Structure 1
């Protein structure tokens, strides 16, 4: 922070770098990228910065954890062009993305709560020595058409095997679980391309119970992003005010 600096103070690149734990090359790179306003030059051609440059760097570094490097860069570039409204629009879009991510997490949590307990193979168990459910009984249980399950298969939501005697699709317990989860998410309005990576997370976690830890980590990351956005907003407001 540079609240004790006077506006007339001149800073060398190394001064600005040390205040923010950066290299002098990073400071120069940020200036060239438009993250910092253009520096003045001494008669010998050396860069000189001011506390306003330090404020710009404060704002950028505070925005990165919540909004990401690309958005933070675009925001500072817009401010330094004198386009504050464009900078605020970018901030709004980033907040909207966080809200969308939070709603997705809530939808997954609701879907998991609403899943019925596993019932094993149930009616329509496959023959050939291995348990599982055929497409018809599973579709009937979910209240959807068999063609919908085949569409989900093409989208990567379920991976049924083929019965060796009949050639029919057979859904094992994990497939039934994934189909139920997909059904809940579809009812919540999510698109197949949004559901596929969530189903993949369930599989990689090894089921629903291990997924609880994944969801808790996801929730913590969203909360951390939200708080980082608050910090970034405060620093950006300080920079905007001092520019004005």
Structure 2
């Protein structure tokens, strides 16, 4: 098998030779043999391992990519495949969440077009006052708080919940989506996204970018699968040679 220098592996990916040595030290590529003078000797197996690791990073993240490679180097293929399965499961869950958010935003947009806009909230509300305003029970508001939909402040003197303008807006959104049949976990995601984006209009505009990110991650997983399969073939060939 032909030998490679650290610079050969590094040059292919635009890395430093120190980065290659670091990946070896962390177990992301197999240990290299050494010359009598102490220089590392890499092979096509190491090159394939580096390609696999670097392709796993955009697909599964740095932590999972490292865990997958170290599992392979412990000869634990099942653990590596389980980590990959978890990554695909997370991607599917993210796709489901995106679909739920997109549908909820469409629901909110449709409702706002057909109903008069509510007057902006002024002042604060207690849990009882807000519950009365929405026509729900205080226990419902506490459930929404437990689900992460509402984040009211507490009165310093009494410890009672105090709902400000943003809390009231979020409660009204939650009330609307609950009437539309959305589960609390999806409503919590929508409310958090609206808080981050700065409103439903801004959130609607950001959904396409979210979709593009999920598509890019899915394609990265396909790309990583190709390199990982090639590396496993190298490992199988090496193991067969060692058994002869």
CA contact (8 A) 1:36 1:76 kept: yes
Establish whether residue 179 from structure 1 lines up as the match of residue 171 from structure 2. Answer: no
After TM superposition, list the pairs within 5 Å mapping 1:1-244 onto structure 2. 8-115=1-108, 116-117=111-112, 118-121=115-118, 134-140=130-136, 145-153=137-145, 157-158=149-150, 174-180=169-175, 183=178, 187-191=181-185, 195-196=187-188, 198-244=190-236
The residue that corresponds to 1:4 in the other structure is: none
Count, aligned residues = 222
Higher normalized helix content (fraction of residues) = 2
Which SS does the other structure have where 2:219 is aligned? helix
Q: CA deviation at 1:156?
A: 5.2
C-alpha distance in structure 1 between counterparts of 2:69 and 2:176, whole Å: 42
* TM score, norm. by length of structure 2: 0.78
* TM score, norm. by length of structure 1: 0.78
C-alpha distance in structure 1 between counterparts of 2:27 and 2:123, whole Å: 63
CA contact (8 A) 2:59 2:220 kept: yes
C-alpha distance in structure 1 between counterparts of 2:82 and 2:36, whole Å: 39
Aligned-pair RMSD on alpha carbons? 3.2
Q: Taking structure 1 as reference, are residues 168 and 242 closer, same or farther at Cα in structure 2, changes over 3 Å only?
A: closer
C-alpha distance in structure 2 between counterparts of 1:46 and 1:54, whole Å: 17
CA contact (8 A) 1:134 1:171 kept: no
* Structure 1: runs of 5 or more not aligned: 1-7, 162-166
